[in-house]
């Protein structure tokens, strides 16, 4: 069965993959040329691999049916991703992308971003995200006309820094990250051992283990990305975090057993407040903290009794300190108040205007965006 299936399905996929190239505009817009080249290379490699899976006599041995099926699935999924994630972005690009590319260039220049910036697209239907497989940062279609969430771009710029462990340009950042993961690992492992040897409720033991796995697997990276954004753009990023929480309302005290991709919003805010003191923004930190607590009260949220066990304050402080060391070790320029460059200053001024005169903010923003783009 499998051989006949692979013969038919792989042949069709080869044809489909080859046809994808014809969807790339001729020529692609300048800001998408790197991505277009990458797509063509990936398509060629995928076609070669598909033919190997389909035709090589070794692959047809019954003993290797499992590996053959897995290999086919991987290539098949990858071709889908090239089509849906990368080619789709190239094919729909318009003048909006040119403007946002200009903005991204200024943003990365002001910070001295250490690696090649991603291609940016207005394709997103899921808020801001970066697709590290294609070096593609996506944002919602109209978001470039509004300033309050633009600081989130800096968070997305941090994810690709974790991509290549051998890249000398990010070595200091990854060393700081490794130190932080080791610290949370040590802390939670000690708690798990203690829980095992004392009359601790079963749910708590399980939650501690889930917290440890979540920190090691993904939360640590998300907190480091938050801190990269904070050191890049200062208070504007913490305001943006508050704004997103106010709009979307993720549970601020999410517990580990709820299995979320990101750590609890309140723990993330704690890390940001710690980070603000490292860039001499204690006053801004106090103002943001006060509004954050008002927001939590307003939405009826209270910290659960065991919350601090999964998000220990001392370790979160260490994350902020390590991330700052890593940020500067990469040669990046931290937020420095009014000497930080046009984009960073405008994004912070936007939040100052927002709170100073909420009613007339939109009119101010329209002018500021026109000036920026």
Contact 344, 232 (CB under 8 A): yes
* d(C-alpha 87, C-alpha 196), whole Å: 51
DSSP class of residue 145 equals G
Cite the beta strand spans of 5-66 per DSSP E.
Answer: none
Phi, psi of 121 (to 5 degrees): -135, 150
Cβ 27 to another protein shortest distance, Å: 27
DSSP H stretches of helix in 147-281? 152-158, 171-196, 202-214, 220-233, 235-248, 265-278
Long-range contacts of 267-270 (CB under 8 A, 24+ apart): 267/223, 267/310, 267/311, 267/316, 268/222, 268/223, 268/226, 268/241, 269/238, 269/241, 269/242, 269/245, 270/311, 270/313, 270/316
Cβ 216 to another protein shortest distance, Å: 4
Cite the beta strand spans of the chain per DSSP E.
Answer: 119-124, 129-131, 136-140
Cβ 165 to another protein shortest distance, Å: 6
Nearer to another protein, 152 or 322 (CB): 152
Nearer to another protein, 173 or 340 (CB): 173
Cβ 181 to another protein shortest distance, Å: 7
Nearer to another protein, 126 or 197 (CB): 126
Nearer to another protein, 160 or 252 (CB): 160
Nearer to another protein, 41 or 67 (CB): 67
Site for another protein, rule CB under 8 A: 58, 61, 63-64, 66-67, 70-71, 73-74, 77-78, 81, 124, 126-133, 152, 155-156, 158-160, 162-163, 165, 174, 177-178, 181, 213, 216-218, 221-222, 225, 244, 248, 250, 261-262
Cβ 130 to another protein shortest distance, Å: 5
Cβ 125 to another protein shortest distance, Å: 10
Nearer to another protein, 244 or 295 (CB): 244
End-to-end CA distance of the chain: 58
Phi, psi of 139 (to 5 degrees): -140, 160
Nearer to another protein, 113 or 353 (CB): 113
Cβ 51 to another protein shortest distance, Å: 15
Token pair for 36: 């277009």
């Amino acid at each position: 069965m499998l051989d006949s299936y692979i013969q038919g399905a792989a042949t069709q996929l080869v044809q489909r993959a080859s046809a994808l190239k014809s969807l790339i505009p001729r020529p692609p817009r300048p800001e998408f040329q790197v991505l277009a080249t990458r797509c063509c290379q990936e398509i060629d490699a995928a076609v070669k691999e598909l033919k190997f899976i389909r035709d090589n006599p070794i692959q047809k041995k019954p003993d290797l049916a499992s590996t053959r099926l897995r290999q086919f699935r991987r290539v098949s999924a990858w071709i889908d991703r090239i089509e849906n994630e990368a080619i789709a972005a190239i094919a729909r690009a318009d003048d909006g992308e040119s403007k946002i590319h200009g903005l991204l260039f200024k943003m990365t220049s002001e910070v001295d971003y250490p690696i090649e910036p991603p291609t940016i697209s207005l394709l997103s239907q899921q808020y801001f995200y970066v697709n590290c497989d294609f070096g593609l940062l996506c944002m919602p279609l109209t978001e470039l006309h509004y300033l309050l969430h633009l600081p989130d771009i800096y968070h997305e710029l941090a994810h690709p820094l974790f991509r290549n462990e051998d890249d000398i340009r990010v070595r200091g950042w990854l060393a700081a990250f490794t130190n932080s993961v080791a610290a949370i690992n040590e802390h939670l492992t000690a708690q798990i051992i203690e829980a095992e040897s004392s009359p601790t409720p079963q749910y708590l033991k399980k939650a501690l283990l889930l917290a440890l796995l979540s920190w090691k697997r993904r939360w640590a990276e998300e907190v480091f990305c938050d801190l990269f954004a904070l050191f890049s753009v200062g208070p504007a990023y913490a305001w943006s975090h508050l704004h997103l929480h106010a709009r979307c309302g993720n549970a601020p005290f999410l517990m580990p057993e709820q299995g979320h991709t990101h750590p609890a919003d309140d723990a993330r805010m704690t890390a940001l407040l710690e980070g603000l003191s490292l860039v001499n923004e204690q006053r801004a930190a106090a103002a943001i903290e006060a509004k954050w607590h008002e927001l939590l009260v307003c939405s009826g949220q209270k910290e659960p009794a065991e919350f601090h066990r999964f998000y220990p304050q001392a370790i979160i402080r260490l994350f902020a300190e390590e991330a700052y060391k890593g940020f500067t070790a990469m040669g990046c320029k931290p937020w420095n108040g009014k000497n930080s460059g046009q984009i960073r200053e405008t994004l912070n001024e936007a939040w100052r205007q927002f709170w100073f005169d909420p009613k007339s903010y939109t009119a101010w923003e329209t002018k500021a965006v026109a000036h920026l783009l």
